């Protein structure tokens, strides 16, 4: 494990906790925009005439561009300065938000979300890297825990904030809310955050950035297009092949270039591998499941945007309550990283299963979801900060930006894949369950328009609920698998690095 020596209390930056507050604010708004759009899906379908594929791209454009650029952003931050890149990220994020708020059609909104992803990439890497530099070893776990709480809260509170805004304003307000936050963050960063950089920074790896972005976009585009065109269609197989080839070329390039943006040596650390594997799968399950949950609350149970957002509030409130009480930090100290992650992700998987079984039946109401949401919140509050601590404690502090880029890339990539794959499962399952007389299989709204009798409409709703149930259970299985994998790898890594007891050497014998 790489670390820095703890600084004496007198040498600690007296503004460090204020700096952490600024960092958490920036991280909060970045994560909010991963899920805030979910509750606006019905409105966007009506106002912009967005298709199911358009909606998925509106959600995925932000995550895919962000994940594609995180490695580059982390490398640039290490070389040119984390404060400088953090400020640039806030400017780009604010500009993209203004563009998105006034988009006139689906294509403009998708492009604006992609632009926001550029700013989000700079913010996501620099926030964690600054924490690694400002806090010493003694305080860093607590700081990362609070950063993780802000991240989890932003991810989970998106539907609630989006629902509240949509209840009073037009859909563009969910993006305009970012502007004062970006401006406040910019002023605070300029005044408070110290500049840090890697004194041995290397040239940016432009080819690596292109290859990684092309690879991830190609693979996820194929996943999104599969249900619509068929998995063996040329317009699906071609981008999948291009994406796979680009990702393969990216790995080969990073192994041989003298200035890689991704140090492949990170992946020789079992502790690092365990944390990122778990983070990938928990992001997969969380992003995909929230995408499904908000649609079920609105499109099946009939809640409006604000009501749907309020009904996801127990998830966010549980995360906040447990982190403010320090439950995650106490369990991390008592159980260790491996057991904390395993426990947290098991709770998360149980919550996802409870939501699927208790809240996704055709006659189910909200009550069956509540216990699942509480379990999900408890699992996130335990697992996410422990994962971030495990990742960042296994890399050299000088490469904090690159390490944060790796963690963020896999998390964002997992979230994008979760929306794409679970959305594809939803679409395929929904289409297969529809009665033969229904031809509008692109979305629930289209299928209901094709229904000519109340009985057919009921069959359409039942088919959609069944499809949500299946997709949620797949997400739960992914999260549980990630928990087992992460715990196993971290446990083996901790055993390998633990000091072995030494046998005392025998005392020398003397002869008379």
pTM over 0.75? The answer is no
Task: Identify the band that residue 215 occupies on the pLDDT scale cut at 50, 70 and 90.
Answer: confident
Q: What is the mean pLDDT of residues 17-28?
A: 83
- pLDDT for 441: 53
Task: Identify the band that residue 7 occupies on the pLDDT scale cut at 50, 70 and 90.
Answer: very low
Q: What is the mean pLDDT of residues 4-30?
A: 71
Task: Identify the band that residue 3 occupies on the pLDDT scale cut at 50, 70 and 90.
Answer: very low
Q: What is the mean pLDDT of residues 58-75?
A: 77
- pLDDT for 29: 77
pLDDT digits (tens, 9 = 90+) for 234-265: 988 998 899 899 989 998 998 888 777 777 77
Per-residue pLDDT for 84 more than 50? yes
- pLDDT for 131: 81
DSSP string, 248-262: HHHHHHHHH-SS-SS
More confident residue, 374 or 70: 374
More confident residue, 211 or 13: 211
Q: Please state, in angstroms and rounded to a whole number, the distance separating the CA atoms of residues 7 and 302.
A: 56
Q: What is the mean pLDDT of residues 102-124?
A: 86
CA 405 to chain centre: 13
- pLDDT for 437: 66
Q: Please state, in angstroms and rounded to a whole number, the distance separating the CA atoms of residues 392 and 379.
A: 20
Q: Please state, in angstroms and rounded to a whole number, the distance separating the CA atoms of residues 217 and 420.
A: 11
- pLDDT for 507: 45
Per-residue pLDDT for 214 more than 50? yes
- pLDDT for 248: 92
Q: Please state, in angstroms and rounded to a whole number, the distance separating the CA atoms of residues 329 and 323.
A: 8
Q: Please state, in angstroms and rounded to a whole number, the distance separating the CA atoms of residues 384 and 148.
A: 6
- Burial status of residue 323 (CB atoms within 10 A of its CB: 0-12, 13-18, 19 or more): buried
Report for 97-111, 123-137, 223-237: range of highest mean pLDDT:
97-111
- pLDDT for 190: 84
- pLDDT for 5: 44
How many residues comprise the chain?
A: 512
- pLDDT for 398: 67
Question: Residues 356, 473: contact at Cβ < 8 Å?
Answer: yes
Q: What is the mean pLDDT of residues 188-200?
A: 75
With a pLDDT cut of 70, the percent of the chain lying above it is: 85
Question: Residues 51, 427: contact at Cβ < 8 Å?
Answer: no
More confident residue, 52 or 476: 476
Domain layout of the chain by residue ranges: 14-204+261-496
In the CATH hierarchy, which top-level class contains the domain 14-204+261-496?
Answer: mainly alpha
Per-residue pLDDT for 94 more than 80? yes
With a pLDDT cut of 90, the percent of the chain lying above it is: 3
pLDDT digits (tens, 9 = 90+) for 386-419: 777 777 777 776 676 777 777 777 776 777 778 7
Per-residue pLDDT for 486 more than 60? yes
Buried b (16+ CB within 10 A) or exposed e, 449-472: ebbeeeebbebbbbbbbbbbbbbb
Q: What is the mean pLDDT of residues 211-236?
A: 77
Question: Residues 191, 212: contact at Cβ < 8 Å?
Answer: no
| Out of 3-17, 108-122, 151-165, 453-467, least confident range | 3-17
- pLDDT for 11: 65
More confident residue, 111 or 13: 111
Q: Where are the alpha helices (DSSP H) in 81-139?
A: 82-101, 106-134
- pLDDT for 505: 45
What rounded mean pLDDT belongs to the chain?
77
- pLDDT for 451: 74
């Amino acid at each position: 494990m790489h670390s820095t020596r703890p600084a004496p209390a007198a040498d600690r930056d007296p503004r460090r906790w204020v700096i952490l507050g600024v960092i958490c604010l920036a991280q909060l708004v970045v994560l909010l925009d991963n899920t805030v759009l979910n509750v606006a899906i019905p409105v966007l379908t009506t106002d912009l005439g967005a298709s199911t594929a358009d909606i998925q791209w509106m959600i995925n454009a932000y995550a895919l561009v962000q994940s594609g650029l995180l490695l580059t952003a982390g490398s640039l931050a290490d070389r040119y300065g984390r404060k400088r890149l953090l400020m640039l990220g806030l400017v780009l994020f604010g500009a993209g938000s203004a563009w998105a708020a006034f988009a006139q059609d689906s294509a403009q909104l998708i492009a604006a979300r992609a632009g926001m992803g550029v700013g989000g990439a700079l913010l996501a890497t620099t926030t964690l890297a600054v924490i690694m530099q400002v806090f010493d070893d003694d305080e860093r776990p607590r700081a990362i825990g609070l950063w993780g709480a802000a991240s989890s809260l932003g991810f989970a509170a998106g539907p609630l904030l989006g629902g509240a805004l949509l209840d009073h304003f037009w859909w563009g307000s969910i993006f305009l809310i970012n502007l004062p936050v970006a401006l406040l963050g910019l002023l605070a960063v300029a005044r408070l955050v110290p500049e840090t950089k890697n004194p041995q920074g290397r040239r940016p790896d432009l080819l690596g950035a292109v290859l990684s972005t092309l690879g991830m976009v190609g693979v996820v585009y194929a996943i999104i297009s599969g249900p619509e065109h068929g998995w063996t269609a040329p317009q699906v197989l071609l981008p999948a092949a291009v994406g796979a080839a680009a990702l393969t070329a990216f790995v080969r390039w990073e192994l041989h270039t003298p200035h890689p943006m991704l140090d492949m040596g990170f992946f020789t650390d079992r502790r690092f591998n365990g944390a990122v594997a778990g983070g990938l799968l928990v992001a997969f399950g969380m992003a995909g499941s929230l995408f499904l949950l908000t649609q079920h609350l609105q499109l099946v149970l009939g809640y409006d945007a604000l009501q749907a957002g309020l009904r996801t509030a127990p998830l966010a409130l549980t995360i906040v309550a447990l982190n403010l009480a320090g439950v995650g930090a106490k369990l991390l100290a008592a159980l260790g990283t491996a057991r904390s992650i395993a426990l947290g992700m098991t709770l998360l998987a149980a919550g996802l299963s409870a939501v699927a079984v208790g809240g996704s039946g055709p006659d189910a109401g909200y009550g069956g979801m509540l216990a699942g949401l509480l379990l999900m919140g408890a699992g996130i509050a335990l697992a996410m900060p422990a994962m971030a601590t495990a990742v960042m404690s296994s890399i050299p502090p000088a490469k904090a930006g690159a390490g944060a880029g790796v963690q963020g890339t896999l998390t964002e990539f997992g979230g994008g894949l979760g929306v794409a794959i679970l959305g594809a499962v939803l679409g395929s399952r929904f289409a297969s369950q529809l009665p033969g007389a229904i031809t509008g299989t692109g979305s629930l709204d289209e299928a209901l328009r094709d229904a000519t009798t109340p009985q057919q409409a009921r069959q359409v709703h039942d088919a959609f609920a069944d499809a949500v149930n299946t997709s949620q259970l797949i997400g739960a299985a992914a999260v549980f698998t990630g928990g087992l994998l992460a715990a196993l790898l971290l446990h083996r890594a901790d055993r390998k690095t633990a000091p072995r007891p030494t046998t005392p050497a025998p005392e020398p014998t003397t002869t008379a």
